[in-house]
Amino acid sequence: MTLKKKVYHILDAILICGRVAPIETGLMILNVIIHSALPYFLVRCSTKFINAVLNYYKEQDNLQSIINTIVQLSIVFFLMFFYSVIIRMLSERIAIQLRNKVNLEIIDKCSRLKYEYIETGETCDLINRILRYPGLDVIQNAFLHIMSGVEIIVNILIVGLLLLKQVWWAIPVILISILPLLITSYYSSVEAYKVLRWNTEIARKSNYIEFDILRGRDLAMERNLFGYAKHFNNKFEEFFRKTMKMEKEVRVKWFIRMKLSSILVTGVIISVALVLCGSLKAGAITMGFFISVVESLFRLENLLVNQVQNLISELVQDNEYFKDLTEFAALSEDDSEGTYCPEQEGIHTIEFKNVYFKYPGTSNYILKGLSFRMEEGKHYAIVGKNGSGKTTITKLLLRLYTIDQGEILINGKNIYDYSIEKVHSLFSVVYQDFTRYAITVKDNVGIGDLKNIEDMKRIKEVTESVGLKDVIDSLPQGYETPLGKVLQEGVDLSGGQWQRVALARTLMKRNTVKILDEPTAALDPIQESNLYKNYGNIVKHATTIFISHRLGSTKLADKIILIDDGKVLSCGSHEQLMKENGLYKEMFCMQKEWYDEA
């Protein structure tokens, strides 16, 4: 495993690359050092070439000397080209290994994070920064930026070696002169990344406006009906202008300071070149050496003034990314607890014992000492007013959250002793806000049980049981028809038909507890009543939990659990609860006319 829980720094980019591609990383570092040192030989060969040309012009040397220096220059140029190609090839090999291992590992961790992180805006922003912007390529880019830094350091040492005899003080002075540039580049980059972090939240809001509200197909009808496109377009523009304003303020603030620092570096380089003019006049150095070294000095000046500040900016942002990576690696995963995973065991009993729960980051308890017991093969209906804690029970059964107090037992064993994979395999769930997959009917239903996704007999059985036979028979390609409007040949369904597809998906797995959380929200009361009857027939021997504030499912239930204010207010059959003349009877009588018609 490459991604560990630890404090990450930018130098970890080398370690990570070394773990996934040790040979390529080692060769890369070696080749960068060699490639960076070649300019020294280029200066020496250029010096010989210029001196040979001048001597030939003065008839003090023959043409063979010029040819010899040209051959030497050609070898140096070839080596520089050769090593640059090798570096590019190694870089690509390292990038491939990072994508195959580290990137997939990060994406896999995202898929296994605790559900509570998904509902936290701050954590969503962190995940967006890790995956999207700056994104997964930062690890490789950080390694390349470090290599660029090595190249610059080697270049400075080369120039220092060339100037050592004539102007030994030049390198210390140059190094001192670039300190203000390094400092301003560092602080401007830190501030720029802070703006980036702040803009992540704005980007999330603006992306929702742009891709969902203004472009989304699902909202097209209401977008045209209410004519709110211009209003949200203005909102999007407002977010965009706010982002641009903040970035502009940071750039302007540091631009002048960095340019003044750059002028200082340029002034020092020119001063060194002028001193060399004196050495040339005094005959201490040759014309060839003077031209070659001065050219190297101004190449170094360009490197320091233009590339260093950009490199510092990139390195700082890379380091901030590694801070995010530290925070990301520390996020807990769903499988952090529980190893019990019996192969054939189904659910015989479910029990909540004095369960207290509040959502992370809040102080208000949703469940307050909730206790009930369910047994295998029975139908249960959990009912109550909106906000009473019904859906929370589903989330806790699926271990999307951890309870604060009490116990949840499956077959008498604490649910947190089970592996998360085993818990998920024991349940089949359909929510009110189910997913509409833009894939074939067969796959839409079959993914409910991946082991039997090709079992057409089972797929037809469950689709017919929820009343989809006539709908599917009318589709152009039957079960092979893509649903939705993403694909050109796709066919969209009505809200109620989509909900039936979701219900069929839950029926694919055998020997699981079926949980239907507000399953009939898109159906009218008559459709709801018929659906419950059909569904009850096909799952008559399975444990079923209906969760709803609509009471159409209650007569099918062997036991009704009435939840109010996070507690079990009453428990029993429909007839028993009606006799109590309590909240259940009040709710049922209010909805009675819907089901009388049905």
Residues 161, 290: one domain? yes
CATH at residue 81: 1.20.1560.10
Evaluate if residue 243 carries a pLDDT over 80.
no
The answer to whether the predicted template modeling score (pTM) of the entire model surpasses 0.85 is no
For every residue of 356-379, DSSP letters joined together read: EE--TT----SEEEEEEEEETT-E
Residue 551 belongs to a domain = yes
Alpha carbon 428 to its chain centroid, in Å, reads: 27
Q: Is 430 helix (H, G, I), strand (E, B) or coil?
A: strand
Residues 492, 593: one domain? yes
Residue 4 belongs to a domain = no
Higher pLDDT, 171 or 229: 171
Could you tell me what percentage of the chain is helix, strand and coil, using 3-state DSSP and rounding each to the nearest 5?
65, 10, 25
**pLDDT value of position 207:** 67
- Under the banding of pLDDT at 50, 70 and 90, the label for residue 336 is very low
Helical packing angle, 229-281 and 170-207, nearest 10°: 170
The tokens describing 138, both together, are: 């930062």
**Residue where a domain terminates, one of 280, 299, 334:** 334
Which amino acid appears at position 521 of this protein? A
pLDDT tens digits for range 481-491: 988 877 778 88
The length of the chain, given as a count of residues: 598
**pLDDT value of position 1:** 52
Residues 37, 98: one domain? yes
**pLDDT value of position 79:** 92
Q: Say if residue 428 is exposed, middle or buried (CB neighbours under 10 Å; 0-12, 13-18, 19+).
A: buried
pLDDT tens digits for range 573-584: 888 888 887 888
**Residue where a domain terminates, one of 281, 299, 334:** 334
Can you list the positions of beta strands (E) in 358-481? 367-375, 379-384, 405-410, 413-414, 427-430
Which amino acid appears at position 127 of this protein? I
Residues 62, 209: one domain? yes
Return d(Cα 117, Cα 43) in angstroms, integer.
57
Residues 322, 358: one domain? no
Residues 328, 180: one domain? yes
Residues 326, 360: one domain? no
Contact 20, 102 (CB under 8 A): yes
**Residue where a domain terminates, one of 300, 334, 368:** 334
How many domains are contained in the chain? 2
The tokens describing 442, both together, are: 């067969």
Of 46-55, 59-68, 549-558, 559-568, which gets the smallest average pLDDT?
549-558
Nearest to 146 by CA among 286, 17, 55: 17
Of 11-25, 122-136, 576-590, which gets the smallest average pLDDT?
122-136
Residues 172, 46: one domain? yes
Return d(Cα 548, Cα 552) in angstroms, integer.
9
**Mean pLDDT for the chain?**
81
pLDDT tens digits for range 160-187: 787 777 777 877 888 888 888 888 878 8
> What percent of the chain stands above pLDDT 70?
84
> What percent of the chain stands above pLDDT 90?
13
Residues 404, 261: one domain? no
Residues 280, 370: one domain? no
Evaluate if residue 24 carries a pLDDT over 90.
yes
CATH at residue 375: 3.40.50.300
The tokens describing 194, both together, are: 């802070």
**pLDDT value of position 547:** 84
Residue 212 belongs to a domain = yes
Return d(Cα 180, Cα 530) in angstroms, integer.
77
DSSP 304: I
Residues 549, 435: one domain? yes
**pLDDT value of position 420:** 81
Residues 272, 375: one domain? no
Residue 102 belongs to a domain = yes
**pLDDT value of position 31:** 93
Residue 82 belongs to a domain = yes
Residue 340 belongs to a domain = no
Look up the domain containing 549 and give its range. Answer: 349-597
